[in-house]
Chains A and B, each alone.
Chain A
Amino acid sequence: MPDLSTNLAGIQSPNPFWLASAPPTNSGEQVQRAFDAGWGGAVWKTLGNPIVNVSSRLGSVDYGDRRMIGLNNIELITDRPLDVNLREIAEVKKRYPKHAVVVSLMFDTRDEWREAIRRSEDTGCDGLELNFGCPHGMCERGMGSAVGQEPKVLEELVRWVMDVANVPVIAKLTPNVSHIEDPALAAVRGGASALSLINTVQSVMGVDLDRLVPLPRVGNLSTHGGLCGPAVKPIALRMVGVLARDPRVTVPISGIGGISTWRDAAEFLALGATNVQVCTAVMHHGYRIVEDLIDGLDAYLASKEMKSVSELVGRATPAFVEWGELDLNHHVVAKIDAATCIGCQLCHVACHDGAHQCIHLPGTPAHAGHVAPMAKFAAERARAANPASPYRVPWVDETECVGCNLCALVCPVEGCITMVEQRRASAKDTWHDRMATGRDHVPGGLKDLR
């Protein structure tokens, strides 16, 4: 059985699945139930000076009948008294010595930070997470993402913390920046032990079209919030990957952003995260999801003959490169399997209106000079199999197919459309190669204009 335990900058955890700092880690009662369910660690809901929350606080992106593919909140940090939180953190740590208990902090003045760090460490917690990410409410008071967006301030604040901290310190970053490297490197310079990202993405969830007020609605007004959930996973994956491949980032990364399943988690780990933090999926379905997170990751690692989570960490990072490193001679074309095609013709309409006009309806002749390999044969074979049904399998003009994947993405039948490799040349040729050898001229570009 693979070893699922992880070590993030010295913070030990029985598995890589932590609850992110959020409503699921609001109280000791919750965190204990989460640990009982199987979570390996928890980052407590951010402690800070007392705040007052509004109501309502959450908004959802629904897709068709699927609820909450994205969730947005305008809730602030903890609204519970500091003493109560600290007492509960100490209790949890005492009862669950092997689990990772991390205290999230957000304060304003240096004195406040020092005091909070001292009192947090008194709980016996395993680490601290600095909330430089919250993109709503707190940033208007100069905290949260206001810090995350100012590398110099962030670096200074991390120094304040590192001056006094005795446990590992994680800097949690906001994605609401142009270059995630800037705050990340500032945190590293400041001495942070690890990074965690992403916090939520600034967002407006929608507009109530009857009241004409954005969502979520507080009376007859609204404000932007922070988006999380499955919708933000691709944004988070990129940012984690960019930092993981950057040699200047010398500290481990805790990956956050839309992780709902063990697959999501495995992807973050493969792109360089040492562990992962989850929130929205738990807000949607409860702590119980951790059973499959563990079970699925365990089975995956075993199937790949990996003995531990650490063997997976960063395995995909070397394959994540800049565009200029991609092989321009790599070429794929779409192949439609007539035997499994159900005839919905979504590939045809997507290709014709949204791509490169190379998937044609059956019966459409090929343009002169273009080939339709196998199309006629496939048509006859399918008709022989079911004479009653009109033949609806489209065909691909391979001479026109650019290999964009769109057809395969819209096809509802798994494995029906495959992208088959047809190299343009055997040798690899990248844009960087071309730049280096003076071949960066594109035929048909401006230089050809007369």
Chain B
Amino acid sequence: MNAKPVPTSPALPAGRLEEQFADKAPLYTSSEALAEASRCLYCFDAPCMRACPTHIDVATFIRKIGSGNVKGSARTILDANLLGASCSRACPVEVLCEGACVYTGWGRKPIAIGRLQRFAMARGASPELLPRAPRTGKSVGLVGAGPASLACAAKLVLFGHDAVVYEKGTLPGGLDVSGIAPYKLDAESALDEVRFLLALGVELRTRVEIGKDVQPAELLAKHDALFLGPGLGADSRLPIPGADGAGVFGAVEWIARMKLDPQLSIAGVTHAAVLGGGNTALDVVREFAQLGVPNVRLVYRRGESELPAYAHEWSAAKKEGVQLVPNAVATEIVLEQGRAKALKLARAHDGKPTAEALPALDADLVVFAIGQARLAEFAARFPDVRTTKEGRIETDASGRTANARIWAGGDARNGGMEVVNAVAEGQDAARAIDAELRAGGVTRGS
């Protein structure tokens, strides 16, 4: 166990690929923020607030920027979303708040809600803004230090409970730190937010693996309630020849190393191929393109119009020079001296491979972005915690599992959604846990 789980800023070594990216939507200056805030109509029952999974009162926080009450603005955000800083940068605002902005429906440029939220959080947020209830002496253990657990833990601390987060790895923050496209949110900024949450009083223990370093029964004995936010498992890979060669990565693994590992280099890479068509695949192709890889191809088993990724992401990727190889499935990664060299393809019909071979592509870097494994095994370690047939942890609407003392949230529960969804689930679970703890419904050893 680590006494100082998050080193003081900066925590990460220099020389990481992430540092080469430009911030696509930099922090506003005060005058920029005022100008943008002044455009906001301050809608009644604003659609942006409804579109946000955490229901941030957007119209109010923007009005407070306009009045110069930036601390109050940050408090309005934090009241609804304790990870408002990273959400302001990681959220697909085009399909959430900004997509719902009445200006969008009017054919005008929507209010830059994400950037205003980033401004309010950067300039106004501090731990003392948040009111906290008297200590209750109750304790909740949280597994995994991703956004769901951190949001849940911080909310519980504000409710007066003790919250201890157990993280298997060395860094907290989950995909918020290791998985967001660097032109949106860099790892160091995400760690700053973790520091903010820990400053509220959340206790973090890193390098603690369930089943190895600590047993579920011990956690149940030690805490009044548990929250499971383990995320998803390893990247899936197609079972094709060459899939284990050098220069072949899983998408989540590649993004994490690009953001955190100074050893990772793409020097000399001229042809990158990403297999998949979802938002993670789009992040990876855009990252390659922005890092200057000359040929970046997205190999997808269906047509362009069927890409499951957000339309705005694909349109941006195209502008950055990414080429789509549609209706194609990889059949072999050709290795040369153990390293990826080319990608053999079969034509796909309706998403399924056919016998017809397509011309092979040069590929010295191949990334599988076809999903992550579920953690059914992990869930099974906890008594009465069940998973759906898709491998998601089964809960009621509040996030409670069939074990009355265990809640769950985040990717392990929703199958893999946005940071803001994980935050919403973590906070909802915190409210439910708080109600149960206060009602005496659950206690240690019950």
Report which A residues bind B (CB closer than 8 A). 64-66, 342-346, 348-349, 361, 389-390, 392, 412-413
Chain B residues 36-58 with CB under 8 Å of chain A are: 37-38, 41-45, 47, 50
Asked if B102 and A65 sit within 8 Å, CB to CB, the answer is no
A346/B41 contact (C-beta < 8 A), A65-B31, A65-B34, A65-B35 known: yes
Does B66 count as interface, using CB distance less than 8 angstroms? yes
A344 to B102 Cα, complex, angstroms: 6
Does B105 count as interface, using CB distance less than 8 angstroms? yes
Chain B neighbourhood of A390, CB < 8 A: 47, 50
Chain B residues 89-116 with CB under 8 Å of chain A are: 102-103, 105-106
A77 to B102 Cα, complex, angstroms: 50
A412/B35 contact (C-beta < 8 A), A343-B102, A343-B105, A389-B105 known: no
Chain A neighbourhood of B37, CB < 8 A: 64
User: Other than the known A342-B102, A345-B45, A349-B44, what 7 A-B pairs have Cβ atoms closer than 8 Å?
Assistant: A64-B34, A64-B66, A66-B38, A343-B47, A344-B43, A346-B42, A348-B44
CB contact between A346 and one of B34, B43, B50 (< 8 Å): that residue: B43
Asked if B34 and A344 sit within 8 Å, CB to CB, the answer is no
Distance of B360 from chain A, by nearest CB (Å) = 42
Distance of A161 from chain B, by nearest CB (Å) = 48
A395 to B38 Cα, complex, angstroms: 27
Which single residue of chain B is at the shortest CB-CB distance from A392? B47
A357 to B445 Cα, complex, angstroms: 56
Asked if A344 and B44 sit within 8 Å, CB to CB, the answer is yes
Chain B neighbourhood of A344, CB < 8 A: 41, 43-44, 102
Chain B neighbourhood of A349, CB < 8 A: 44
Which single residue of chain B is at the shortest CB-CB distance from A66? B38
**Between-chain CB contacts (< 8 Å), 11 pairs:** A64-B34, A65-B35, A342-B102, A345-B44, A345-B45, A346-B42, A389-B105, A390-B47, A392-B47, A412-B41, A413-B106
Most buried by A among B42, B43, B50: B43
A401 to B9 Cα, complex, angstroms: 60
Chain B neighbourhood of A66, CB < 8 A: 38
A345/B43 contact (C-beta < 8 A), A64-B66, A65-B35 known: yes
Chain B neighbourhood of A346, CB < 8 A: 41-44
Chain A neighbourhood of B42, CB < 8 A: 346
Chain A neighbourhood of B106, CB < 8 A: 342, 413
Most buried by A among B38, B50, B106: B106
Distance of B35 from chain A, by nearest CB (Å) = 4
Nearest 7 CB-CB pairs, A to B? A64-B38, A345-B44, A349-B44, A65-B35, A344-B43, A342-B102, A65-B38
A136 to B406 Cα, complex, angstroms: 73
Chain A neighbourhood of B43, CB < 8 A: 343-346
A183 to B420 Cα, complex, angstroms: 66
Report which B residues bind A (CB closer than 8 A). 31, 34-35, 37-38, 41-45, 47, 50, 66, 102-103, 105-106
A125 to B431 Cα, complex, angstroms: 80
Which single residue of chain A is at the shortest CB-CB distance from B31? A65
Distance of B57 from chain A, by nearest CB (Å) = 14
Distance of A385 from chain B, by nearest CB (Å) = 11
Looking at chain B's contact residues, is the secondary structure mostly helix, strand, loop, or mixed? helix
Most buried by B among A343, A348, A413: A343
Asked if B105 and A342 sit within 8 Å, CB to CB, the answer is yes
A346 to B41 Cα, complex, angstroms: 8
Which single residue of chain A is at the shortest CB-CB distance from B104? A342
A263 to B35 Cα, complex, angstroms: 26
A64 to B42 Cα, complex, angstroms: 13
Distance of B109 from chain A, by nearest CB (Å) = 13
Chain B neighbourhood of A345, CB < 8 A: 43-45
Distance of A69 from chain B, by nearest CB (Å) = 12
A412 to B38 Cα, complex, angstroms: 13
Distance of A353 from chain B, by nearest CB (Å) = 10
Which single residue of chain B is at the shortest CB-CB distance from A348? B44
A434 to B380 Cα, complex, angstroms: 87
Chain B neighbourhood of A361, CB < 8 A: 45
A390 to B50 Cα, complex, angstroms: 10
Which single residue of chain A is at the shortest CB-CB distance from B103? A342
A92 to B430 Cα, complex, angstroms: 78
A413 to B102 Cα, complex, angstroms: 11
A344 to B50 Cα, complex, angstroms: 13
Chain A neighbourhood of B103, CB < 8 A: 342
Distance of B265 from chain A, by nearest CB (Å) = 45
A66 to B39 Cα, complex, angstroms: 11
Distance of B227 from chain A, by nearest CB (Å) = 32
Distance of A215 from chain B, by nearest CB (Å) = 15
Chain B neighbourhood of A389, CB < 8 A: 105
Which single residue of chain B is at the shortest CB-CB distance from A62? B34
A389 to B102 Cα, complex, angstroms: 10
Which single residue of chain B is at the shortest CB-CB distance from A352? B44
A361 to B45 Cα, complex, angstroms: 10
Distance of A176 from chain B, by nearest CB (Å) = 31
A392 to B103 Cα, complex, angstroms: 14
A361 to B44 Cα, complex, angstroms: 10
A344 to B37 Cα, complex, angstroms: 16
Chain B neighbourhood of A413, CB < 8 A: 106
Which single residue of chain A is at the shortest CB-CB distance from B67? A64
Chain B neighbourhood of A392, CB < 8 A: 47
Distance of B44 from chain A, by nearest CB (Å) = 4
Chain B neighbourhood of A348, CB < 8 A: 44
Most buried by A among B38, B44, B47, B105: B44
Which single residue of chain B is at the shortest CB-CB distance from A411? B41
Chain A neighbourhood of B31, CB < 8 A: 65
Chain B neighbourhood of A342, CB < 8 A: 102-103, 105-106
Chain A neighbourhood of B45, CB < 8 A: 345, 361
A342 to B110 Cα, complex, angstroms: 12
Distance of B184 from chain A, by nearest CB (Å) = 26
A194 to B54 Cα, complex, angstroms: 65
A343 to B103 Cα, complex, angstroms: 10
Chain A neighbourhood of B102, CB < 8 A: 342-344
Chain A neighbourhood of B38, CB < 8 A: 64-66
Distance of A314 from chain B, by nearest CB (Å) = 38
A389 to B103 Cα, complex, angstroms: 13
Chain A neighbourhood of B105, CB < 8 A: 342-343, 389
Most buried by A among B38, B41, B103: B41
Distance of A208 from chain B, by nearest CB (Å) = 13
Distance of A192 from chain B, by nearest CB (Å) = 44
Which single residue of chain A is at the shortest CB-CB distance from B105? A342
A343 to B51 Cα, complex, angstroms: 14
Distance of B143 from chain A, by nearest CB (Å) = 37
Most buried by B among A343, A344, A349, A412: A344
Chain A neighbourhood of B50, CB < 8 A: 390
Distance of A45 from chain B, by nearest CB (Å) = 33
A348 to B43 Cα, complex, angstroms: 10
Chain A neighbourhood of B34, CB < 8 A: 64-65
Which single residue of chain A is at the shortest CB-CB distance from B68? A209
Distance of B383 from chain A, by nearest CB (Å) = 42
A349 to B42 Cα, complex, angstroms: 11
